[in-house]
Amino acid sequence: MLYPLKFHPIFKDKIWGGKKIQSILKKDFSPLDNCGESWEISGVPDNESKIKNGQLSGKTLNQIIKEFKGRLLGSRVYERFENEFPLLIKFIDANDDLSIQVHPEDDLAWKRHKSFGKTEMWYIIQADNNAELIAGFNKEMDKNIYMDHFHNGTLMDVLNREKVKAGDVFFIPAGRIHTIGKGLLLAEIQQSSDVTYRIYDFDRKDSNGNTRELHIDEALDAIDYNFYPEYKSKYNDKTDQPVEIVRSTYFTTNKLSLHSKIFRDIKSFDSFVIYICLDGQGHIEHNDSRTRIVMGEVLLMPAEIDHYSLIPEGQMKLLETYITKD
């Protein structure tokens, strides 16, 4: 019998990482001094999440996919992805600006890396005063104009900067140039890929005095040079009902701001569902069992558990993510 699954986080030491994963999300990332990323659910090779609750404790995500197949993933999801888990769920703490970067789409990523592409979304959990991020260009662009700005040292002048606050959502399709700015703690939902092309890293050096590798030429064919009038996702928060904040080919994400118990019948999804607790605490109740979830926790609901109740203690905010139907 499958049940709601929790996993041990995989903590990543990053040159730009900070302390918020510990101070705000209450995760102990020792012996690291700082932590840039906490990988919450991952099937990425050599970074496979291990279950920490119940009778499957100690098994990896990839092991239980092979064991339970469509019962875990959903029949259509398993047919599409087989034994590869299609999403990677992270918390990111930017104590400094991340590099200017871009991710390739599926065809290019497969051709070059035998990997999925990397479309992602960000939900801002906490933002320092005047914190910013970069998403896309602020003017019409093409490859030649882009290269002129790159070689002239004026690339930052043509990138779209956004002031951000808690609750903001940004959808970052593969190809969109971007960076997470200093002072942001966010939840990231993305395709299961670790392919990143760094374009500019502010000439930073690590503790050994080395600069990080850049991928300037590789990025040229990956960048979407189009200008878009809006980069921030708009949504209207509602109480005690799901609000769709992102729908893409790869995943759909709802936000749930709960003050009362609600019932979820997700049989039509034919997909596993991931819950990310953004604030507060509560339970997921199915039949006679209850699984607790608190701020900073991430939980995977197997597809075969297709109806259950979400019960806040006071109030609770969740992201609900599943694989979009074709």
Q: Which residues are catalytic?
A: 198
Tokens representing residue 123 in the block? 């939900």
Buried b / exposed e along 96-123 (16+ C-beta atoms within 10 A): bbbbbbbbbbbebbeeeeebbbbbbbbb
Residue 95 CA to residue 15 CA, distance in Å, equals 9
Report the candidate in 232, 130, 128, 247 with the shortest Cα–Cα distance to residue 176: 232
CA dist list (Å): 256 to 14, 118, 274, 315: 31, 25, 12, 10
DSSP string, 87-153: EEEEEEEESSPPPEEE---HHHHHHHHSS----EEEEEEEE-TT-EEEEEESS---HHHHHHHHHHT
Instruction: Give the torsion sign (CA, 189, 229, 93, 150).
Output: positive
Pick the closest to residue 320 from 275, 277, 284, 282 (CA basis): 275
* Rounded alpha-carbon distances, angstroms, from residue 121 to 65, 218, 248, 298: 24, 22, 10, 16
- Give phi and psi for 106, each to the nearest 5: -55, -50
What spatial distance separates the first Cα and last Cα of the chain, rounded to whole Å? Answer: 28
